[in-house]
Amino acid sequence: MAKVGWIGLGNMGNPMSQNLVKAGHDVVVWNRTKSKADEVLAAGATWADSPKEVAEKADFIFTMVADGPTLHAVAFGDNGYIAGLSAGKIAIDMSTVSVAESVKVNEAVEAAGCKLIRGPVTGSTVLAQSATLGILASGDKATYDKVLPLFESLGANQFYVGGADEARVLKLAINTMIATTMQMEAEAVVLCEKAGLDVGQVTEVIAGSAVGSGICKYKASTITEGTYPAAFSVKLMMKDLDLALDVAKQYGVPMLSTSLTRQQLAAAAATGREEKDFAVLTEVLEDASGYTR
């Protein structure tokens, strides 16, 4: 069994780290807010006082944090995990960050005589809990092969997509489709609601229809209930679309739907919904349409 370190115990990191404990690994964790470690510690993990200590105690060091600046905050500095690396260890970042942010971490990890696997994920908290995430990985192939058994404890679908930061771009591209799908569903749902149809039936029919992709299925209940607790927040989705639109600018790809959906997420944030699930786009459109449930 492997000595695994885990940094970042948010909505995703918490269930993912617990799955590694369940798989029998020796897991050491750190999170900025220590109380969020209660569950994984109760499951059998141990606590480290800093990201540096995590890297000193583990051979595989996972990070699953909010964004690029946070990844840099836990990687660099006196207490960052890179200060705790020794040659031969493997770092794996599963957060959604930009290529530029990732390159900077990779350079520092390699300078410490180690390798970095980029392993962003598709799927939400429900799939994190059931260990059925999709994992898009890139980086050194021989290193990936060593990490694969750990990935198999976290996800059902494994994709190795290249030797460097390819997984970062693919992850952002997929999230543009996920976000625009939620905007499309918002438009369909509010249209039907105003025409007098039942929201629960509408989301059920959409989920079972030709356009009923995974995301329509996972979000059907929260749209029906209209409560929107964050599985994936508006704030994080805005971050991802901003990163995707930067890539689009770099390669000269006009991304119309993504740009419009980004604006509607801004409307969600500006009306106090930044910490809600991004499926709250339906509620934003209900307001804009003068519709109250």
Among 60, 81, 232, 278, binds ligand NAP (CB under 6 A): 232
Nearer to ligand NAP, 70 or 138 (CB): 70
SS (H, E, C) the chain: CCEEEEECCCCCHHHHHHHHHHCCCEEEEECCCHHHHHHHHHHCCEECCCHHHHHHHCCEEEECCCCHHHHHHHHCCCCCHHHHCCCCCEEEECCCCCHHHHHHHHHHHHHCCCEEEECCEECCHHHHHCCCEEEEEECCHHHHHHHHHHHCCCEEEEEEEECCCHHHHHHHHHHHHHHHHHHHHHHHHHHHHHCCCCHHHHHHHHHHCCCCCHHHHHHHHHHHHCCCCCCCEHHHHHHHHHHHHHHHHHHCCCCHHHHHHHHHHHHHHHHHHCCCEHHHHHHHHHHHCCCCC
Pick the stretch among 8-16, 83-91, 142-150, 283-291 that binds ligand NAP (CB under 6 A). Answer: 8-16
Pick the stretch among 40-48, 52-60, 69-77, 145-153 that binds ligand NAP (CB under 6 A). Answer: 69-77
Pick the stretch among 58-66, 149-157, 186-194, 221-229 that binds ligand NAP (CB under 6 A). Answer: 58-66
Residue 54 beta carbon to ligand NAP: minimum distance, rounded to whole angstroms: 13
How many residues sit in the footprint of ligand NAP (CB under 6 A)? Answer: 26
Residue number closest to ligand NAP, CB atom: 10
Nearer to ligand NAP, 32 or 146 (CB): 32
Among 4, 5, 11, 85, binds ligand NAP (CB under 6 A): 11
Q: How distant, in Å, are the alpha carbons of 174, 186, 189, 254 from that of 258? A: 11, 15, 19, 9
Among 2, 4, 12, 131, binds ligand NAP (CB under 6 A): 12
Residue 50 lies near ligand NAP (rule: CB under 6 A): no
Both structure tokens of 241: 């679309």
Nearer to ligand NAP, 23 or 73 (CB): 73
Residue 10 lies near ligand NAP (rule: CB under 6 A): yes
Choice among 52, 89, 115, 171 that is catalytic? 171
Other beta carbons less than 10 A from residue 210's beta carbon: 6
Among 4, 9, 54, 117, binds ligand NAP (CB under 6 A): 9
Among 45, 75, 121, 167, binds ligand NAP (CB under 6 A): 121
Residue 236 lies near ligand NAP (rule: CB under 6 A): yes
Q: How far apart are CA 120 and CA 193, in angstroms?
A: 36
Q: Are 144 and 122 in contact (CB under 8 A)?
A: no
Among 95, 138, 176, 258, binds ligand NAP (CB under 6 A): 95
115 is catalytic: no
Residue 91 beta carbon to ligand NAP: minimum distance, rounded to whole angstroms: 16
**Which residues are the active-site residues?**
171
Q: Write out the residues near ligand NAP by the rule CB under 6 A.
A: 8-13, 31-33, 36, 64-67, 70, 73-74, 95-96, 121, 124-125, 231-232, 236, 240
